[in-house]
Amino acid sequence: MDVIARFTQAVHIVNDRLEAMTQSLYAQLQTSSVTDLRSAIRSGSYQGQTAGLADGYLQANLAILSKDYALDFMRFCQRNPKPCPLVGVSDTGSSALSTLGASIDIRTDVPAYNIYRNGALSDTVTDISDLWQDDFVVFALGCSFTFEHALVRAGIKLWHFEAKKTVPMYRSNIMTRQAGPFGGETVVTMRAIPASRVEEATEISRRYPLAHGAPVFIGDPNTIGIQDLYQPEWGDAPPPVKDDVPVFWACGVTPQNAILKAALPLCITHRPGFMLITDVDEQAEVPFV
pLDDT tens for each residue of 165-195: 889 999 999 999 999 999 999 999 999 999 9
Size (the chain), residues:
289
**Averaged pLDDT, 32-53:** 90
Q: What is the pLDDT of residues 55-74, one digit of tens each?
A: 888 899 999 999 999 999 99
SS (H, E, C) 127-183: CCHHHCCCCEEEEEEECCHHHHHHHHHCCCCCHHHHHCCCCCEEEEEEECCCECCEC
- pLDDT of the residue at 237: 95
- Residues sharing a CB contact under 8 Å with residue 220, sequence separation 6 or more, in sequence order: 246
- pLDDT of the residue at 66: 97
* CATH C-level class of 145-250: alpha beta
- pLDDT of the residue at 1: 58
Cβ neighbours of 141 (radius 10 Å): 29
- pLDDT of the residue at 26: 84
Q: What is the pLDDT of residues 18-32, one digit of tens each?
A: 455 556 778 888 888
Q: For the chain, give the mean pLDDT.
A: 89
- pLDDT of the residue at 31: 83
The pTM score is: 0.84
**Averaged pLDDT, 247-259:** 93
Q: Is the pLDDT of residue 105 over 90?
A: yes
- pLDDT of the residue at 19: 52
The closest alpha carbon to 268, from 255, 277, 250, 249, belongs to 255
Strands 185-193 and 136-142: unpaired
* CATH C-level class of 34-142+264-281: alpha beta
Q: What is the pLDDT of residues 108-154, one digit of tens each?
A: 999 999 999 999 999 999 999 999 999 999 999 998 888 888 999 99
Domain spans in the chain, listed from the N-terminal domain onward: 34-142+264-281, 145-250
